[in-house]
Amino acid sequence: MNKKERRSSLAIIGQLIGLIRPLLPLMCLAVLLGVAGYLCAAFLTILSGRALFHTLLEMMGISLATKGGLVLSFGRLCFVLIFLAVMRGGLHYGEQYCNHFIAFKLLAIIRHKVFAALRRLCPAKLEGRDKGNLIAVLTSDIELLEVFYAHTISPVAIAVITSGIMVIYIGSNSVAAGFLALAGYLTVGVLIPLAVGKKGGQTGLQVRNDFGDLNSFILDSLRGLDETIQYKGGEKRLEEMTLRSNKLGKKQKELNRLESAQRSVTNLVILLFSFGMLLLMLHFYGKGGVDYRQVITAVVAMMGSFGPVTALSNLSNNLNQTLASAERVLSLMEEAPKVEEVSGEEPAHFGRVSVNQADFAYEEEAILENCSLFVPQGKILGIHGPSGCGKSTLLKLLMRFWDTDSGSITIGGRNVREINTEDLRDMESYVTQETYLFHNSIAENIAVGKPGTSREEIMEAAKRASIHEFIMSLPDGYDTKVGELGDTLSGGERQRIGIARAFLHDAPFLLLDEPTSNLDALNEGVVLKALKETCGEKTVVLVSHRDSTMNIADQVYEMEKIRVS
């Protein structure tokens, strides 16, 4: 992900809360149920404490004057306590159900937005992106947002409302006691989480970034496993993996230490405020300002009402990583594409293609300088040159995966920047050096070139790509599964499936990037012959570093290696 400075926690929270609007009524219901549940729990403790103390006094034969208060019979008290306990369980279940429904619904919405962002960023911004880090964003980072939506928003509202009610209730026994309760709730629910959050916020972001980096390293190691075994690089990869794991573990331990310290401080503060409430009410009792029931009510209410703010306090460490994950997700969603898609322009039709004094660089790395060429319509233009001279980049500029830094590319006399992206894709077929195959059947992989096509059209495209006979020799023919990343097929077979896709797409402008690089001489000749015979009136740009591939070209454009790093 980009390394820009992280936005403030409040800004992240504000953006996450903004996504809740469609589910706001359900969130309000969750808060209402949560407040009612905590009040049931608090008054369950208060009534039990008062009844127990009153019973003890009666057993001791002590009768103390009171300023009023309801004393229930044993039977009624049992009924009330059972009712409050059952209500507490039901209300808590309802609150959790609402919160998790909201959370998982919003996670689905966020995933949709993230994948929409990826479609918008493709392919320029994603080519060369750290794939493992991206996978971490799409999986674990989004999953961590469940903590925010299910265990943060409503608990904050519940803590504020419940604490406010308890401050008023405790204050009805003594104003000073009410202020002391307010100070306790603010300390546990606000001051401690803010202090811990400030200390651990940057560490949380580092943990998420290091986790993404470790994912990337593991993914890279798995893909290069054959080479690692062949060249005995296993120990070195293992050492690097151990080093990265230990680095991540140290930061995780730092967060765990913060969490343990916070819980200890929180428990200590709760005990201090509870003891302080006892001393304060005993002081007023000694002066005759309150009776024993008010003393018991205030003290027990104080001790039994820290639940909402304690839950809030315990969130701060988890919230550090949650907000760090949110920062990574939001950054991806807000990332601006390097190439903006075009729509709303006049429909375009294929015509003369030309590149006019084009310059292009990947950031500071110059690839093309003052490149100009004309693609003859209905002919095969070969682009020949050594590796790294910018041949593939030129095709990607023709596809408008990137825009030129200067100069222009025109099709049918119109700058590609002014052609509707959908029209541009319809008039071009592109075969890359490495054909990507989905974990699906051969037929469905070829059909990527024209969704909804018939089996007959798929077979015809395969014949033109000289892959039909091979497919028919397989046990399941066109229904044969190609395996993950097409690993059950050879490089040449994958390449010919890519060519079949392009033929099925049937665009007037065909771009071929090293289409025979994975083929032996015999198969190369077969494929090139098929290309020459079946392209018909299509305009073809054929890129290769092989001299033999250029034999079918009507014209050849030589590129020199000018790449500067």
Tens digit of each residue's pLDDT (9 = 90 or more) over 182-200 = 999 999 888 887 777 666 6
Query: How confident is the model at residue 66, as a pLDDT?
Result: 45
With H, G, I as helix, E, B as strand and everything else as coil, classify residue 269: helix
Same domain? For 320 and 452 the reply is no
Query: Two tokens at 26?
Result: 């359900």
| Cα 464 from Cα 530, distance rounded (Å) | 6
Which range among 50-64, 210-224, 368-382 has the greatest average pLDDT? 368-382
Place of tokens 């083929």: 519
**Higher pLDDT among residues 5 and 430, named by residue:** 430
Q: What is the mean pLDDT of residues 66-94?
A: 76
Query: How confident is the model at residue 564, as a pLDDT?
Result: 42
Instruction: List the CATH number of the domain containing 430.
Output: 3.40.50.300
**Higher pLDDT among residues 228 and 308, named by residue:** 308
Query: How confident is the model at residue 65, as a pLDDT?
Result: 45
Q: DSSP letter for 305, please.
A: S
Same domain? For 173 and 296 the reply is yes
- pLDDT band for 74, please (50, 70, 90 cuts): low
Residues listed for the chain = 565
Residue 330 located in a structural domain: yes
Q: Which of 306, 334, 362 is the last residue of a domain?
A: 334
Query: Where are the alpha helices (H) located in 427-559, listed in sequence order?
Result: 442-446, 455-464, 468-472, 491-505, 521-534
Same domain? For 409 and 324 the reply is no
- pLDDT band for 69, please (50, 70, 90 cuts): very low
Residue 565 located in a structural domain: no
Instruction: List the CATH number of the domain containing 152.
Output: 1.20.1560.10
**Higher pLDDT among residues 123 and 266, named by residue:** 266
Same domain? For 390 and 505 the reply is yes
Q: With the CA atoms of 77, 79, 85 and 91 taken in that order, what torsion angle do they form, in degrees rounded to the nearest 10? A: -120
**Higher pLDDT among residues 6 and 457, named by residue:** 457
Q: What is the DSSP string of 87-113?
A: HHHHHHHHHHHHHHHHHHHHHHHHHHH
Same domain? For 479 and 545 the reply is yes
**Higher pLDDT among residues 81 and 136, named by residue:** 81
Q: What is the mean pLDDT of residues 307-327?
A: 75
Which range among 3-7, 128-132, 178-182, 202-206 has the greatest average pLDDT? 178-182
Using CB atoms within 10 Å of the CB of residue 70, give its burial: 0 to 12 exposed, 13 to 18 middle, 19+ buried.
exposed
The rounded radius of gyration (Å) of the Cα atoms in the chain is 35
Same domain? For 315 and 419 the reply is no
Residue 391 located in a structural domain: yes
Query: How confident is the model at residue 355, as a pLDDT?
Result: 92
Same domain? For 325 and 357 the reply is no
Candidate from 163-172, 284-293, 496-505 with smallest mean pLDDT: 284-293
Query: Two tokens at 235?
Result: 């120990």
Residue 564 located in a structural domain: no
**What is the side-by-side order of every strand in the sheet holding 365-375?**
365-375, 353-362, 406-411, 414-415
**What is the side-by-side order of every strand in the sheet holding 509-513?**
428-431, 509-513, 539-544, 380-384, 555-558
With H, G, I as helix, E, B as strand and everything else as coil, classify residue 557: strand
Residue 40 located in a structural domain: yes
pLDDT in tens, 324-339: 788 888 888 888 888 8
Q: With the CA atoms of 427, 431, 432 and 437 taken in that order, what torsion angle do they form, in degrees rounded to the nearest 10? A: 110
- State the number of CA atoms in the 13 A half-sphere of 86 facing the CB: 6
Distances (CA, A) of 386 to 254, 364, 371, 541: 51, 21, 16, 16
Candidate from 216-230, 246-260, 277-291 with smallest mean pLDDT: 216-230
Q: What is the mean pLDDT of residues 146-171?
A: 87
Same domain? For 329 and 442 the reply is no
Instruction: Reply yes or no on whether the pLDDT at 523 is more than 80.
Output: no
| Cα 91 from Cα 487, distance rounded (Å) | 53
Same domain? For 393 and 321 the reply is no
pLDDT in tens, 532-563: 877 777 899 999 888 888 888 889 998 876 54
Q: Whole-number mean pLDDT of the chain?
A: 82
For residue 341, what are the contacts with CB-CB under 8 A and spacing of at least 6? Answer: 120, 421
Residue 416 located in a structural domain: yes
Query: Where are the alpha helices (H) located in 305-357, listed in sequence order?
Result: 307-334
Range of the domain at 554: 353-558
pTM (two decimals): 0.65
Query: Two tokens at 68?
Result: 């009023």
| Cα 338 from Cα 361, distance rounded (Å) | 13
Query: How confident is the model at residue 466, as a pLDDT?
Result: 82
Same domain? For 320 and 357 the reply is no
Residue 563 located in a structural domain: no
Same domain? For 252 and 393 the reply is no
Residue 313 located in a structural domain: yes
Which amino acid is located at 423 in the chain? D
For residue 101, what are the contacts with CB-CB under 8 A and spacing of at least 6? Answer: 26
Residues of the chain with pLDDT > 70, as a percent, come to: 88
Using CB atoms within 10 Å of the CB of residue 174, give its burial: 0 to 12 exposed, 13 to 18 middle, 19+ buried.
buried
For residue 28, what are the contacts with CB-CB under 8 A and spacing of at least 6? Answer: none
| Greatest C-alpha distance within the chain | 115
Instruction: Reply yes or no on whether the pLDDT at 474 is more than 70.
Output: yes
pLDDT in tens, 19-48: 888 888 998 999 999 999 989 988 888 888
pLDDT in tens, 367-408: 888 888 999 888 899 998 887 788 888 999 999 988 999 999
Same domain? For 109 and 142 the reply is yes
Q: What is the mean pLDDT of residues 460-488?
A: 83
Instruction: Reply yes or no on whether the pLDDT at 244 is more than 70.
Output: yes
| Cα 64 from Cα 72, distance rounded (Å) | 17
Q: DSSP letter for 565, please.
A: -
Number of structural domains the chain divides into? 2
